[in-house]
Amino acid sequence: MKNLRSFFCAALCCMSLALSAQVNPKREFRGAWIQAVNGQWQGIGRTAMQAELTRELNALQADGINAILFQCRVEGDALYASQLEPWSRYLTGQQGTPPAPYWDPLQWMVDECHARGMELHAWINPYRAKTKGTTALATTHYAVQHPERCFKYEDLLIFDPGLPENRHFIVEIAKDIVSRYDVDGLHIDDYFYPYPVAGVAIPDDASYAAYGQGRDRGDWRRENVNTFIRELCEAVHSVKPWVKFGVSPFGIYRNQRSWAEGSATNGLQNYDDLYADVLKWVEEGWIDYNIPQIYWEIGNKAADYDTLIRWWSEHAYARPLYIGQDVERTVKFTDRQDPSQNQMAAKYALQRGLPGIYGSCQWYARAVVDDKGGYGTALRTTYHRTPALQPEMPWLDKKAPGKPRKVTPVWTEDGYMLFWTAPRAKDPLDEARMYAVYVFPKGMKVDLNNTLQLIAITSNTFLKLPYNDGKQKWTYVVTALDRLQNESKGVKKTVKL
């Protein structure tokens, strides 16, 4: 009987840890998009923009967000110091005009995110040269210098994806960003060939005549985008092999009416309408992560969230799949099983219950910060209650760094502190960039997979200890995390608090 009780106790313990891992995964991408294209930063000045971004980043950190996707190139322009493209009107109000007082928003965001233990992914729009609201381009803009390389489509101006020189130029933009800024990722969104307008043809006859070689035009367009994605991936990794390259495509790959293996949906298609063969990019390993924008609600007649997240899960292949979540639409619609609550719980149950999914990204950050429908509160108190490391990417690097050194508790004028020093490293990929800290009460087994005991992921080499009366014994474990958050073995230190 004693052995049987021991067996059941052990089984319950394992079940508890498994449930904890599902509710509080140890590794999970928890991103949020901060966009410029809506004009929220346009002309407000450095002080106001930094104050608002600080407010947002503080709230997002408290809500457990561990990655920011910051839009720094909207329309062949720059929200950073670039020698290749003009300052963005979405920053200063007029394209080509530098900010005054001068500052570099991308560099500022890198510093602020890293100080909060967040990744910063530089988000660029590759092909858009002018949005419909832009009335004038700077003389240094690529489309002004090379108008023959762009085409108009309704109110937009587009870098023609069929021209190799455009592809090469955008790749150089990405290499410039990655080489000069300590970004953790390079991110592009869902705009490839333009979103179709009924009755309006894409005016790419000239580039097709020059390079099409008689191929089906749809196949040729897809190959243009395929080549760009492959070359962009190779370029990013050639500059810094640890920088992640990711894409957030439109939420439908293909409908079943177009392809038997497509989703049971009826909407715009990446493959057929935007000429974006996302599955090929994933299968070929040309992207490091995929964030389809599944912005619809559960029960949508044309594009049901439940249907789409299951479809993408089945087609995740060997790259992490993150889910693009629409905050406002999630809280607007009620749960189909319980009309007294919104759809957030049901969506997260799917996100964390299906294979191949390793996190989500919130559209958009401000909606989380403003706690639309209690969304930010739910992240903070339930879904992101414990910190999370980033998902592993062993194809980029799988070697763990060395262990932290000299883990020591010390009394200081600021209180009782736990200090440590970085492990030695011979290669940038092996350098410790962050540290994970776990704590276990006396009698609890030290298990680094017990996510409830993970209390901090920090870039600091110290942690303030919650000293009380010095009578309770606790075991702290510190591990080192490299640029890709491969985790070292832990170093234990027992203290009395």
- Residue 34 class from Cβ within 10 Å (0-12 exposed, 13-18 middle, 19+ buried)? buried
367 with 417, same domain: the answer is no
Domain that holds residue 436: 405-496
- Are the C-beta atoms of 149 and 159 separated by less than 8 Å? yes
339 with 425, same domain: the answer is no
Structure tokens at 101: 């007082």
Each residue's pLDDT, cut to its tens digit, for the chain (497 residues) gives 444 343 333 333 333 333 444 578 999 999 999 999 999 999 999 999 999 999 999 999 999 999 999 999 999 999 999 999 999 999 999 999 999 999 999 999 999 999 999 999 999 999 999 999 999 999 999 999 999 999 999 999 999 999 999 999 999 999 999 999 999 999 999 999 999 999 999 999 999 999 999 999 999 999 999 999 999 999 999 999 999 999 999 999 999 999 999 999 999 999 999 999 999 999 999 999 999 999 999 999 999 999 999 999 999 999 999 999 999 999 999 999 999 999 999 999 999 999 999 999 999 999 999 999 999 999 999 999 999 999 999 999 999 999 999 999 999 999 999 999 999 999 999 999 999 999 999 999 999 999 999 999 999 999 999 999 999 999 999 999 999 999 999 999 999 99
User: How far is it, in rounded angstroms, from Cα 361 to Cα 375?
Assistant: 13
Q: What is the CATH number of the domain that holds 186?
A: 3.20.20.80
**CB count in 10 Å sphere of residue 157:** 22
Residues with Cβ < 8 Å from 388, sequence gap 6 or more?
A: 24, 25, 26, 27, 28, 30, 64, 66, 359, 451, 457
Q: What is the CATH number of the domain that holds 473?
A: 2.60.40.10
352 with 427, same domain: the answer is no
- Are the C-beta atoms of 125 and 188 separated by less than 8 Å? yes
User: How far is it, in rounded angstroms, from Cα 380 to Cα 403?
Assistant: 30
292 with 368, same domain: the answer is yes
368 with 468, same domain: the answer is no
Q: 389 in a domain, yes or no?
A: no
pTM of the model: 0.95
User: How far is it, in rounded angstroms, from Cα 418 to Cα 489?
Assistant: 18
CA dihedral for 94, 98, 104, 106, sign (positive or negative): positive
338 with 413, same domain: the answer is no
Q: How far apart are the first and last CA of the chain?
A: 38
Q: 15 in a domain, yes or no?
A: no
How many structural domains comprise the chain?
2
275 with 181, same domain: the answer is yes
